[in-house]
Amino acid sequence: MTMNLATAALEHAEQIARLHSASWQATYADVLTPDYLALTAPAERKAIWQQRLYKPRSNQIVLVAHANGQLQGFACAYAGEHAEWGSYLDNLHVAHGHQG
């Protein structure tokens, strides 16, 4: 399977939010409430990604990975975020079927 990487754009916000929420549901089910994961997190993630992609910070880099026309992963980093520690990888999420 061929994986294509691209710079994220505003039209990717909803797909990124869905994958981000699904990743949280799979990873944090034992520490976050089911109601939060099912009802609140998806809307929060959507709002955050719409804002980040509508008005990105100057050092923000968001990449998306697509296979067969479907978003399979994304990464968000902030270049040169910290004077001592350098860049900051804020998010890295991969669809369950493509992990490993």
Question: Could you tell me the residue ranges of all domains in the chain?
Answer: 4-98
Q: Which residue has the tokens 């270049």?
A: 79
Q: What is the pLDDT of residue 11?
A: 96
Longest C-alpha distance within the chain, in Å? Answer: 40
CB atoms within 10 A of CB 67: 15
Q: What is the pLDDT of residue 72?
A: 97
Q: How far is CA 15 from CA 49, 66, 70, 77, 79, in A?
A: 9, 11, 9, 18, 23
Mean pLDDT of 72-96: 96
Cα–Cα dist 78/87, whole Å: 6
The whole-model pTM stands at 0.92
* H-only helix segments in the chain: 13-27, 34-35, 41-54
Task: List pLDDT tens digits, range 31-81.
Answer: 999 999 999 999 999 999 999 999 999 999 999 999 988 999 999 999 999
Is a pLDDT exceeding 90 seen at residue 100? no
Task: List pLDDT tens digits, range 5-19.
Answer: 999 999 999 999 999
Is a pLDDT exceeding 80 seen at residue 1? no
* CATH homologous superfamily, domain 4-98: Gcn5-related N-acetyltransferase (GNAT) (3.40.630.30)
